[in-house]
Amino acid sequence: MESMHIISTKQFLDKKILGSIFKLADDMEEKDRAGILINSLKGKILASLFYEPSTRTRFSFESAMHKLGGNVISTESAIHFSSVTKGESLQDTIKIISGYSDIIILRHFKEGSAEIASRFSSVPIINAGDGMGEHPTQALLDLYTIKKEFGNIDNIKIALLGDLLYGRTIHSLLHLLGAYNVDIFLISPEQLKLPEKYKNYLDKKGIDYKEIDNIKKIIKEIDVLYVTRIQKERFNSEDEYEKLKNSYKIDSEMLKEMKDNAIIMHPLPRVNEISTDIDDDKRAAYFRQAKNGLYIRMALLEMIFKKN
């Protein structure tokens, strides 16, 4: 983390940096559960600048800021806002808002927006999702969840299931996994396979990965099953959808095959790719994963302000 901004997972490709973030997140959780008030960011102001709504991500950052003693100013949906409709550029908006706040959480529908914002801001920018681009804090909380559940990341067997072509979350997580020694299984319909550039990246990092045509072939041996949503429209035909849909839906039948200490992850929101029947199984880790977002964001805010 050389920059004061958090724009891309590329900034975190170092086990030592990742380790220190995770350790700080552990500390944050411990203090939070003990009810200890942290006042390290007292007097600081976080601005949520969301050009498209994302209640969960926004609430998780704002809750993190409050838990550190800071204040929040917030837009739910800046796209409806005057300056935007009057045609103000992102640059101008950022120049002004960075005069009113100490950190900006930016969610934007357009890829590259966070990087542009960082060039014009006088305060740190955190990319909270920029269209087809990145959402680095999501990738960090995903990786943190694996670390927390297993105690380590090396030697873990991870299956990525669903839409591997368009899934921003999957791409960002794969990037971070490049720092570790893991086994990866890729399971997707033919037309939603992982793009070549990510396979090349895994090759370059010397990471073992296999493309598998059916989750059932490896369900018994994996440690992590990371599920993402496939939109029905992505299938080639209704026929194909009907034929394949059960291979991409996780339910109690499939759970029976899994190891006792395996976990199921999902970036949420889910629609019906994971049956609610399994929510109470201890292996269903997706709500713990969402909660980890709070602690990761507390850790990142703490680090940014300690640094600057």
Binding stretches for its own copies (CB under 8 A): 35, 37, 42-43, 45, 47, 52-56, 58-60, 62-63, 66-67, 71-78, 80-83, 86-89, 91-93, 95-97, 99-101, 268-271, 276, 287, 290-291, 294
Shortest separation between residue 225's beta carbon and its own copies, angstroms: 18
Shortest separation between residue 45's beta carbon and its own copies, angstroms: 6
Shortest separation between residue 182's beta carbon and its own copies, angstroms: 27
Q: Which is nearer to its own copies, 216 or 287 (CB)?
A: 287
Q: Which is nearer to its own copies, 31 or 205 (CB)?
A: 31
Residues acting as catalytic residues: 56-57, 86, 107, 135
Tell me how far apart the alpha carbons of residues 137 and 9 are, in angstroms, rounded to a whole number: 8
Q: Which is nearer to its own copies, 181 or 272 (CB)?
A: 272
Shortest separation between residue 98's beta carbon and its own copies, angstroms: 9
Q: Which is nearer to its own copies, 156 or 267 (CB)?
A: 267
Shortest separation between residue 209's beta carbon and its own copies, angstroms: 29
Query: Cβ–Cβ contacts within 10 Å for residue 206, how many?
Result: 8
Q: Which is nearer to its own copies, 62 or 302 (CB)?
A: 62
Closest CA to 188 of 172, 171, 208: 171
